[in-house]
Amino acid sequence: MCGRFAITLPNDAMAQLFAARPANDLPHVPNFNVCPTNLVHVVRSSDGARRLDALRWGFLPHWYKTETAGPLLINARAETLADKPAFRAACRERRCLVVATGFYEWTKSEDGQRLPWYIHRHDSGAIAFAGVWQDWGPETARQRTCAIVTTAANKKLGNIHHRMPLILEPEDWALWLGEAGKGAAKLMCPGAEEILEFHRVGRAVNSNRASGPGLIEPVQGD
């Protein structure tokens, strides 16, 4: 799964990397502790043009009467994405990329304490999570929401968690965004074996109120 991540790339650099037009209301960066319901950086494609937009992390199906009418859908499983009522239309028509520079997962110590790990590219570059999006709410209070697609963890990350975000490389972005025709289903499998590395970080990030670059600094134990 993916329940917390970091984004440190400047907005203009993100727009350039994804060849996308940036919106005026993009979230503040850097943010070393992006949490569910926060606005996140999302790349979408419409009529052949890409946009870098701010979307609420937490997908709201159209039948939710309120934001809390059902579970908070921050992740969508790749294996059932095309079949689940909440996601199947978005899987066909509204795929996106959620931009990050790293994400957190947790293991447990022998005494049951949650031990956080920071997972990132070995070159410290941007990560593009596969995502789906959905407009929700009345026209006067419309929200654009998203979920991150997850898959079974690859062998490298399997010792930390059995799930991981679906990470797409640049050569796959156009297909996922629908710019290169059909066939995005073939992208929904574990990958990123060679590009990711991880290290233990301090338990400060266990709080969703924590902030600052110290959250991703390596520690031996705390």
Set 67, 105, 171, 179: catalytic member = 105
In order of 87, 110, 114, the CA distances from 65 in angstroms are: 17, 43, 35
Set 2, 91, 96, 146: catalytic member = 2
For the question of residue 35 being annotated catalytic, the response is: no
Report the greatest alpha carbon distance in the chain. Answer: 54
Q: Decide: residue 118, CB within 10 A, 0-12 exposed, 13-18 middle, 19+ buried.
A: buried
Alpha helices in the chain (DSSP H): 11-17, 88-93, 170-176
For the question of residue 105 being annotated catalytic, the response is: yes
CA 160 to chain centre: 18
Active centre residues (catalytic): 2, 105
